[in-house]
Amino acid sequence: MSLPTFSPIQPANIEWQENTPVASDYDDPYFSRQDGMAESRYVFLDGNRLSERFSGLQADQYFVIGETGFGTGLNCLLAAQQFLATAPAGARLHLVSVEKHPLRHDDLRTALAHWPELAELAAALLAAYPAPTPGLHRLQLHDSISLTLLYGEAEQLWPLFNHPVDAWFLDGFAPSCNPDMWQSALFSQLARLSRPGTTLATFTAAGFVRRGLQEAGFRMEKRNGFGHKRHMLTGTFSTDSTTTDIPARQQTSPSVLVVGAGLAGATTARALAERGCQVIVTDPAGIAAHASGNLAGVVYSTPSAHLTPQNRFYQQSYSHALRWLQHHDFPSSPEQGRLNGVVQHFVDDRQKAKITQAMDSGAWPEELLKPVGGIGVELVGGGYLSPADWCKHLLNHPGITLISSVITDIEEGAPARAMLADGGQLHADAIVLCTAGATPRLPGLGWLPLKHIRGQVSYCRATEASKQWQQARCHGGYLTPAINGLHCVGATFNLHDASPTPSKSDDDENLQQLKTYLPGQWQELGGEDIEIAERRVAFRCQSIDFLPLCGPLPLANENPHRAARGLYLNLAHGSRGITGTPLCADLIADMICGTPLPVDQQLVDALAPERFIVRKRRKQPEWKP
């Protein structure tokens, strides 16, 4: 089976007719000219009986709403508003909505301004609203409400989503205006993702829609429509004529042991704690003591026009990391860093052509990537920060306990078990190894296909001129503005050097690279008289296909599709730990808690540790980017 092909996203073309946005390509308004809010409440909220279903939830239950056209977000925001008003504390709502042509940010702001009673939720949506790039985007509208936006073709994206839905908003432009969406393929996906008792509601009463949904397994009912519309449809998914509502699902909040307190461990622990889990983090070296411990790191990505799973992960994790940092209000001071854009300088014609192609193709829209005076591009929203301060910030949560035990072995089970160097044991419902290059030292994990790449960064004393620098810069290496009077210049990349001792030759290499690609900055930093105050060596952990290992730990000597019970990996982030770990943390946390995942199935498979076992058993060559 071939992988789905993703394409750049084309934002919506909007024509404003008085106060109503109309989609030019479909000649259809986004909401009722008569009263859009009242129509949405009547059709989608009342049509799915959400008020009574929300109020009937238990504190540990969650509810999933799927939608076939996000538009202005009105339906989702109204559902969120009703959930906050009627659901018990502790319950959670997951909104999942697909959109082929997302509104531009300014158009969305203008549309949402019509409804001041939704201002707080609208502000949360606008603050986190993703750039138009294909795939899934996870937003947090409230501590108890997440929104996952699926940008792209509905018939392509719903097959890559694999979590049951409790209620459907079958929205989108009218069938007469948008016939491509209202097809049996969509109805089959609705049925696949439904369970007995799942409801749906839609504003249309078209006969072929009603018949198509009936053929897919929904018991349909025609009801009075809103305003001047005569009829609408509601439905209930059922395998027989007597099925009634089944209880909402419980979100598990297990006990979890996270091994490692670097970027992967800190983000994983925080994602779990925010889902109500009790988390123990253990690291005998302390917080961010290894590869996550450099003075500064850069939040960036590698633009590409080719939307392969690898490149989509780089892009999606970049945007996801920016939303995490914004949500957690970090960095909050210049000593912690700044998110004011990263300048990627062109180092040669090949790189320039690749990045220019990414911009011209639309795969990287101007909200994320823009040219900088012919010398390079700016990764919008990126920046630099102190990884250690970020880790400490994340681990400061009442649901997280930090200890310093040494783990010598792990065993699957319910609960899973970790053996300690002092002879003791720790038990947890799940164990997540965020141990990077140390992971193969554990018994049975030597098969992991990991590379350990030495890097040395040089900490250079700031000058009066360099103190004025505001943005991080990437070239052959990277250069950050000063933190505590020191600039990070680096970093070397050596696969065949295992020495932990810093060397003058590596400092010379870092400064020569700076001189070659950024001669102006090299001169402002002191030129031949640059003062190196400190240097640091760490070892990047990278997989052989350049993607992290994120997911259940497979049993190498058994069926590769049988994962070890309760054991997970989140490691091999290479030099992109700041950027990649938040998305992987949410993926691991949702897997453990049994809630909707923040990435599509294609990326789940691309990140799964079992990919290497499957590849080996099938005797397939390693996939190379």
- Residue 151, CB half-sphere, CA atoms under 13 Å: how many? 23
Least confident of 6-15, 30-39, 68-77, 496-505: 30-39
Please provide the CATH number assigned to the domain covering 390-449+544-617. 3.50.50.60
Confidence of residue 181 (pLDDT cuts 50, 70, 90): confident
pLDDT for residue 130 is more than 80? yes
Give the residue carrying structure tokens 């003058």: 504
Identify the residue with better confidence: 305 or 247: 305
From the centroid of its chain, how far is CA 209? Answer: 34
Which residue, 587, 582, 589, 578, is CA-closest to 606?
A: 587
Confidence of residue 3 (pLDDT cuts 50, 70, 90): low
Distance CA 240, CA 262 (A): 51
Stretch 214-240: mean pLDDT, rounded? Answer: 89
Task: Name, in order, each residue with C-beta under 8 angstroms of 86's C-beta and a sequence gap of 6 or more.
Answer: 51, 54, 55
Torsion region of 536: left, alpha or beta (phi above 0 gives left; psi -120 to 50 gives alpha): beta
- CATH number for the 34-239 domain, one of 3.40.50.700, 3.40.50.1820, 3.30.420.40, 3.40.50.150? 3.40.50.150
Task: Name, in order, each residue with C-beta under 8 angstroms of 373's C-beta and a sequence gap of 6 or more.
Answer: none
Residues in the chain, how many?
A: 625
Phi, psi dihedrals of residue 577, rounded to the nearest 5°: -60, -40
pLDDT at 1: 45
Return the beta strands (E) in 462-576 as ranges. Answer: 472-474, 478-479, 486-490, 532-543, 549-554, 563-571
Ordered DSSP codes for 417-458: EEEETTS-EEEESEEEE--GGGGGGSTT-TT--EEEEEEEEE
pLDDT for residue 402 is more than 50? yes
Confidence of residue 557 (pLDDT cuts 50, 70, 90): low
Percentage, residues of the chain above pLDDT 70 = 95
Distance CA 622, CA 625 (A): 10
pLDDT at 620: 41
Return the beta strands (E) in 295-358 as ranges. Answer: 297-299, 337-338, 342-345
Domain ranges of the chain: 34-239, 390-449+544-617
Phi, psi dihedrals of residue 375, rounded to the nearest 5°: -90, -15
Distance CA 329, CA 332 (A): 6
Give the residue carrying structure tokens 């190196």: 532
Which residues pair with residue 573 across a beta bridge?
542
pLDDT for residue 104 is more than 70? yes
pLDDT for residue 624 is more than 50? no
Stretch 394-423: mean pLDDT, rounded? Answer: 96
Q: How wide is the angle at C-alpha 541 spanned by C-alphas 536 and 543, nearest 5°?
A: 155
Whole-prediction pTM value? 0.95
Which residue, 325, 279, 274, is CA-closest to 298?
A: 325
Task: Name, in order, each residue with C-beta under 8 angstroms of 61's C-beta and a sequence gap of 6 or more.
Answer: 91, 92, 247, 248, 249, 250, 251
Ordered DSSP codes for 536-567: EEEEEEEETTSS-EEEEEE-TTS-TT-EEEEE
CA distance from start to end of the chain: 19
User: Tell me: the pLDDT tens digits for 276-321?
Assistant: 999 999 999 999 999 899 999 999 999 999 999 999 999 999 999 9
Distance CA 555, CA 491 (A): 36
Which residues pair with residue 403 across a beta bridge?
282
Phi, psi dihedrals of residue 202, rounded to the nearest 5°: -150, 150
Distance CA 434, CA 98 (A): 32
Q: How wide is the angle at C-alpha 346 spanned by C-alphas 341 and 347, nearest 5°?
A: 130
Distance CA 445, CA 467 (A): 46
One-letter identity of residue 266:
A
Distance CA 166, CA 74 (A): 19
Which residues pair with residue 278 across a beta bridge?
255
Phi, psi dihedrals of residue 105, rounded to the nearest 5°: -55, -45
Confidence of residue 570 (pLDDT cuts 50, 70, 90): very high
DSSP conformational letter for 152 = S
From the centroid of its chain, how far is CA 124? Answer: 17
